[in-house]
Amino acid sequence: MPTIDSPQNQQVKLYRSLLSKKGRQKAGLCPLEGVRLIDSALQNGADLQTVYVCPELLTDQRGQELLREIRDRDIAVLELSPRAFSSMTDTQHPQGIAATAPAQYHSLQSLSKPGPAVYLWLYEIREPGNLGTIFRTAAAFDVAGIVLLGNCADVYNPKAIRASSGAIFAVPAAQATWDEAMTWADQGDIHTVAAALCAETSCHEAGYPDRLAAVIGSEAHGLPEHVLTSAQLQVKIPVSDKVESLNAGVATGILLYEIYRQRY
């Protein structure tokens, strides 16, 4: 197959369209770029559809090894000129490899699993970088699934994908309303644990049930009153009075670590 040189090539235009939410929804695909991210996505189960390679830019050994693995898996590979490759990416210093993968949106029911399980519910986490970091943290602490509540950032936003380091393919996620999530939790005997500054119980002192959903609020507003009052347990993360609140990603990491520590 000849090298693609035109920025107007249909495959190049398709990848470029995935940088927008509308384009991702229309194609059902998400964009991946860079050696480390694509390698991590593969190891986390991503089903790569097409891989774009610019030989002039993909020069490091790790990149060459990744390309050999991709070819061994019989994944479609397109070769691009530097001009074509640079026209479709959103990074200042492209590494010469990009890929597409299905953007998989799960149902609440598909997240259900028997036995002890920790779920993570995120309420209006709007910053893509924060969302991606939270996915990476969730994967580190064996979260069974993530529920996105309200107006959250798109999981497959390129910034979120990069911040997750491929973990979006390791932890399934579903979109739901609070009422839908609570109904699902009741059916699955899942107890809700909300992180709140106003809580009286420290997250380090609380006891956590075998099946629970840790609920984290938005960066700007935390959790609304109706969420706090309907949660079965509220816990606070003790902090100095020098700050009003923690970044949502940091708060998620502290709470999930404490739950994980008590279990293991």
The pair of structure tokens assigned to 143 is: 């979260």
Hey, how many other C-beta atoms are within 10 angstroms of the C-beta on 109?
Answer: 10
Q: pLDDT for 53-67, tens place per residue?
A: 999 999 999 999 999
List CB contacts of 169: < 8 A, sequence separation 6 or more: 41, 44, 45, 46, 101
The pair of structure tokens assigned to 30 is: 């998400």
Q: Distance (Å, rounded) from C-alpha 78 to C-alpha 4?
A: 8
What pTM does this model have?
0.93
Q: pLDDT for 78-103, tens place per residue?
A: 999 999 999 998 888 899 999 999 99
For the chain, counts of helices (H) and of strands (E): 11, 11
**Any idea what DSSP says for residue 139?**
H
Q: Distance (Å, rounded) from C-alpha 61 to C-alpha 69?
A: 12
How high is the pLDDT of residue 83?
Answer: 94
> Could you give all domains of the chain from N- to C-terminal order, each with its CATH number?
10-102 (3.30.1330.30), 108-263 (3.40.1280.10)
The pair of structure tokens assigned to 13 is: 């235009």
